[in-house]
Amino acid sequence: MLEWKLRLATHKDIPALHELIPRSVHHLQKDHYSHDQIEGALGSVFGVDSQLIRDGTYFVVEDTSIIGCGGWSQRKLLYGSDQLRSVDESCLLDAKYDAARVRAFFVDPNYVRKGIGTAILRACEEAIIVSGYTRAELVATLTGEPLYAAYGYIAVERYDIELAQGLALPVVRMLKSLS
Ligand SMILES: CC(C)(COP(=O)(O)OP(=O)(O)OC[C@H]1O[C@@H](n2cnc3c(N)ncnc32)[C@H](O)[C@@H]1OP(=O)(O)O)[C@@H](O)C(=O)NCCC(=O)NCCS
């Protein structure tokens, strides 16, 4: 039985997240993306968005070390790390009109299918509702899609994120009503 606990991430967790995210992506996404796609997306599409930590909307799950992370956001950006964020996409959403974002879930490959993604998603949705939003939106990897689909997120658009060297990463935009 795992004894993990969920808490808000702090700046001190960033080195552990820099280690966890590539490990998670390399092990868990290999059925959906090529090595080159994963390498092309790491650091830009997949990586730490420290704005989420500063906003107090990013969670980690900790056992003896950090074994999962994920969060939500009241900012426009739908995906991406510090490297990808533009000023325009950092702007704040309006709970009256916009869907809150669900962002950047990564679980340690040794701990998958144990409910860690679920626990983080629940914590995000609770915080999103408390903040006055009635909808959540996300851009899922093909690896992440079954998790979100299991909790009522509906696929509304499939498209490719352009990567360097002519590569592309197929993803799916998903929505859920929380009202
Ligand atoms: C997607 C991810 C976060 C899921 O985390 P997790 O802790 O394994 O998810 P959970 O154990 O909470 O899964 C809950 C449910 O989601 C669904 N699900 C999760 N992963 C699944 C998979 N690989 N295949 C099919 N269904 C899956 C199942 O219904 C599962 O319930 P079950 O195990 O009782 O069947 C994890 O696979 C991951 O880190 N992937 C690599 C990084 C990534 O692509 N992140 C998504 C960014 S959008």
Decide: 141 in ligand 1 pocket, CB within 6 A. yes
Contact between residue 154 and residue 174 where contact means Cβ atoms under 8 Å apart = yes
Out of 60, 138, 147, give the residue to mutate to test ligand 1, the one with the largest number of ligand atoms within 8 Å of its CB.
147
Residue with tokens 């939106």: 137
Query: Could you list the pLDDT tens digit for every one of the 179 residues in the chain?
Result: 678 999 999 999 999 999 999 999 999 999 999 999 999 999 999 999 999 999 999 999 999 999 999 999 999 999 999 987 676 778 999 999 999 999 999 999 999 999 999 999 999 999 999 999 999 999 999 999 999 999 999 999 999 999 999 999 999 999 999 98
For atom 35 of ligand 1, the residue with the nearest CA is: 113
What is the structure's pLDDT at 87? 67
Predicted TM-score (pTM) of the model is 0.97
What is the structure's pLDDT at 14? 98
Domain ranges of the chain: 5-133
Decide: 74 in ligand 1 pocket, CB within 6 A. no
Q: If you classify domain 5-133 with CATH, what class do you get?
A: alpha beta
What is the structure's pLDDT at 172? 98
Tell me, in angstroms, the distance from the centre of ligand 1 to residue 96's CA: 30
What is the structure's pLDDT at 88? 73
What is the structure's pLDDT at 179? 82
Cite the beta strand spans of 12-128 per DSSP E.
Answer: 58-62, 66-73, 100-107
**What are the residues facing 159 on neighbouring strands?**
171
Q: Please, is 14 exposed, middle or buried when counting C-beta atoms within 10 Å of its C-beta (0-12, 13-18, 19+)?
A: middle
For atom 22 of ligand 1, the residue with the nearest CA is: 146
